[in-house]
Amino acid sequence: MSDHSGSRLLLLNKPKGYVVTRSDEKGRKTVYDLLPPWAYDEGWMPVGRLDLDSKGLLLFTQDGQISNHLTQPGSCHKIYEVWVRGHLTHEQAAQLVEGIEDKDELLKAVRVEIKGGAGPKTRLEVELDEGKNHHIRRMFGELKDPKFGTPMKVLELKRTAIGPLKLDVESGQWRLLTANEENNLLDS
């Protein structure tokens, strides 16, 4: 058992196929299956969420004030690598920054950068300053591929950064944040 006293945040690289919950009534794998037993036993809770089909950086803490601070809109930006089915145009990327209405809710990105593509897919980097339920998936679901007129669909979604903190462990692995990393994150 490693010494985790004094640590206030834990970073996990969540793989696809794990539910972000303490226990699942459907018997699916949870993120706690990847963490040391003390994280569950001592009440470490996820800071925000990543859905079953999303992967990447997920933080855990026992401190409710830290969790509230990091999940407040505008507190710290989150960066995602996104693959969509479709050919996103620069005009559509700008539209995502302006905001898209979905079910009477305005969904916006801080930045959308087209990174390239392969065949009928486009690779993007999307930056958010808040995270609404299925935010990125819903935004892209409102767009149509200009080439074929079909709805765009998120194929892969990976959170790569929260504020100054970058994803730096392999899929399924975790580590404790250093005091310096915690301070930089909370001051961002």
Of 82, 34, 81, the C-alpha closest to 60 is 34
Cα-based distances in Å from 37 to 33, 41, 74: 8, 6, 33
Is the predicted pLDDT of residue 127 greater than 70, yes or no?
Answer: yes
User: Which positions ≥6 away from 132 have C-beta within 8 Å?
Assistant: 105, 107, 138
The correct CATH number of 78-162 out of 3.30.2350.10, 1.10.12.10, 3.40.920.10, 3.90.320.10 is 3.30.2350.10
pLDDT digits (tens, 9 = 90+) for 133-170: 899 999 999 999 988 888 899 999 999 999 999 999 99
pLDDT bin (cut points 50, 70, 90) of residue 103 is: confident
pLDDT digits (tens, 9 = 90+) for 1-43: 456 767 899 999 999 999 999 999 999 999 999 999 999 999 9
- Residue-range domain boundaries for the chain: 10-73+165-177, 78-162
Residue 37 corresponds to which tokens in the numbers above? 């037993």
* Mean pLDDT taken over the chain: 93
Give catalytic residues, as residue numbers.
Answer: 51
pLDDT digits (tens, 9 = 90+) for 48-65: 999 999 999 999 999 999
CATH architecture observed for domain 10-73+165-177 = 2-Layer Sandwich (3.30)
Which pLDDT score, from 0 to 100, does residue 3 have? 67
